[in-house]
A and B are shown apart, each in its own frame.
Chain A
Amino acid sequence: MLGFLFAPLTGLVTADTAWQQAELSQADWRAIATSLLGGAASMVIIVLAGTPLAFHLARARGGLALLMEALVLLPALMPTLALGILLAVVYGPSAPLGRAFAALGMVLTNTPAAFLLATIYAALPTYVIAARGALAQVSPDYEALARTLGDTPLKARLRVTLPLARRGLAAALALAWVRALGEFGIVLMIAYYPAGMPVQLWTDVQDLGLQAVFPLVTIFLLATLPVPLWLGLRARAR
């Protein structure tokens, strides 16, 4: 079974490809830059917006908390292509929301902003759900004690709960990174341009065939696999 799970990676060495001839095109380089820069920017937004939400969900009880959980779960559970289609409808040029953003100078179809929007919708729920779990594992008693030592509620969270949950939060961020970089369905619908690595790989395969895309696939894997794998294992090892 484990061999079955590992099998895809063996494709990297067994593939019938002429590595010397295959090299990265200019479009490939652009896609790498788009993915890495866009992914990094969306991580910043996700951490800043998602961490307070995860904190709230980790501590909240009752009906309202359940409703909020459901709202976070919804985009995570939706097939990404369906989510992409819905986003195209809501943020598209003919929709009120899309027009409102466009009026502010932010067109949300086939622009860098649209790419960012797609990755945030892909990765924010993943981050919030995982971060919520990490934060919920830290007993609220530590925070309460920090307050008796003079900390405001916010300061207690920053000085005690956040560091105690750091490994789980790092793993949550790593998961979000993988989701953002690997996102294809949503991006296909609202941010086909500028192309990130997944869309570029898709068009390369269409135009040039499987053999030609191995350098980009390798970089794609290097950008998504090692660090999250390490962080995930470290979070478990605690």
Chain B
Amino acid sequence: MSAIVIDYVLAAPVALQAQLTVQGFTALLGRSGEGKTSLLRALAGLLPATGTPWQGQAPEKRPVGYLPQETLLFPHLSVLENTAYALRGRSRKDKAQALLEELGLAALAARRPHELSGGQAKRVALARALARGMELLLLDEPSSGLDTMTRDATLDWLIETTAARRVPVLAATHDHEVAARADHLALLADGRIIQHGRARDVFEAPVSRAAAELLGYENVFEQDGALWAIRSTGIFPDEAGEPFPVRTVRETGTGLRLSCGDEHPLMVDLPDGRLDDYLPGNILRLNLCAKKRIG
């Protein structure tokens, strides 16, 4: 699959500089307000920016598909008409129908957008974008507005469908769980890309505390002169582990949640165990082997 090298500078509404390579399903992970949406809009030609590729080209001239967070299916058109929107010529409806069938959405063809569920609307919006050939597809918060169950299914479908058509995707998200499904990953913080690469590599070796926090590591701590990150679910009790005093303990729906240690307590999620076994003040030996070195 082809890769697209992006080098964009935006001045407004958020100042940011983004250099990254989009390859396969690439997630752009950043906090809200960092300018993810602005970068996607700039790539679609809807916001002014300088850089390559496509600088100065009107949106209608760019080989770019764009799925905004709100989906924005045209409310006055049926699913079929929405899908046929970018098509021209006499057989546009037939082509749209064929595309809907190919994507398993033919049953929705006659519906209006307000009659679709959130997940269905995302799929139809993808069909509408795919009808027009493209070199890059932009997804803004593909999981927004979906409940957890639909979210996973919809996300898998989006990834599989675009992969099958060999369309490179740049998906903006603030959710590290969405980012975890991507092939490639770019982290956006402080107006620039602070790390990018294969998703696996990025998760294994965050370059900074900010990167680790974006990736969902709850615990970042110093040890032996280095900075380390570990998930609350990556820690478990071990007789041979390091000693930590238990500070607080709480029962949750999925087990126990502890904070251990003095200055910067570690958050630990244990899948089982009884409250009585972890009384505050007791010394608990914890295995931190899953920790990742930062930098």
> In the complex the two chains form, is A148's CB within 8 Å of B59's CB?
yes
A52 in contact (CB, < 8 A): no
Q: Which of B63-71, B195-203, B208-216, B231-239 contacts A (4 or more CB under 8 A)?
A: B63-71
Bound form: Cα–Cα A163–B62 in Å:
25
Q: Are B59 and A144 in contact (CB under 8 A)?
A: yes
Q: A113 in the interface, Cβ–Cβ < 8 Å? A: no
Query: Which single member of A139, A142, A151 contacts B60 (CB below 8 Å)?
Result: A151
A160 within 8 A of B: yes
- CA–CA, A183 to B42, complex, Å? 50
Confirm or deny: B274 has a beta carbon within 8 angstroms of a beta carbon on chain A. no
Q: Which residue of A lies closest to B128 (CB)?
A: A149
Q: Which residues of B contact A159 (CB under 8 A)?
A: 85
Min C-beta distance of A164 to chain B, whole Å: 6
Q: Across the interface, do A147 and B46 meet the contact criterion of CB distance under 8 Å?
A: yes
| Bound Cα distance from A145 to B85, whole angstroms | 11
The residue on A at minimum CB distance from B76 is A163
List the B side residues contacting A17 at CB < 8 Å: none
Selected contact of A150 from candidates B68, B75, B132, CB within 8 Å: B132
Task: Choose one: A141, A149, A164; the contact of B129 (CB below 8 Å).
Answer: A149
In the complex, which residues of chain B have a beta carbon less than 8 angstroms from the beta carbon of A163?
76
Q: What is the bound-complex CA distance between A148 and B45, given in angstroms?
A: 8
Whether B72 pairs with A148 at a CB distance below 8 angstroms is no
Q: Please name all residues of chain A whose beta carbon is closer than 8 Å to the beta carbon of B66 when the two chains form the complex.
A: 145, 148
Q: Does B86 contact A (CB under 8 A)?
A: yes
A-B contact count (CB 8 A): 47
Indicate if A146 sits at the interface (CB-CB under 8 A): yes
Output the nearest chain A residue to B88 by Cβ-Cβ distance: A150
On chain A, the number of residues with a Cβ less than 8 Å from chain B's Cβ atoms is 16
Q: Is the CB of B86 within 8 A of A164?
A: no
- Which residues from A are CB-within-8-Å of B129? 148-149
Closest B residue by C-beta to A165 = B76
Q: Which of A142, A150, A152 contacts B72 (CB 8 A)?
A: A142
Which residues of chain B are within 8 angstroms of A152 by Cβ–Cβ distance? 58, 60
**Does residue B49 face the partner (Cβ distance < 8 Å to A)?**
no
Could you tell me the distance between the alpha carbons of A145 and B58 in the complex, rounded to whole angstroms? 12
A145 touches B75 (CB 8 A): no
B44 at the A/B interface (Cβ < 8 Å)? yes
Residue among B41, B60, B65, B129 with the highest chain A CB neighbour number at 10 A:
B60
Alpha-carbon gap, A216 to B287, bound state (A): 96
Distance A148 CA – B64 CA, assembled complex (angstroms):
7
Inside 8 A of B8's CB, which chain A residues have their CB? none
| CB–CB A160/B46 < 8 A | no
Q: What distance in Å separates the Cβ of B154 from its nearest Cβ neighbour in chain A? A: 19
* 6 residue pairs A–B, Cβ–Cβ below 8 Å: A141-B70, A142-B72, A145-B66, A148-B45, A148-B59, A149-B128
Residues in chain B within 8 A of chain A (CB atoms): 41, 44-46, 58-60, 62, 64-66, 68, 70, 72, 74-76, 85-86, 128-129, 132
Q: 9 closest Cβ contacts across the A-B interface?
A: A147-B59, A149-B86, A148-B66, A163-B76, A145-B72, A148-B59, A150-B60, A150-B86, A144-B46
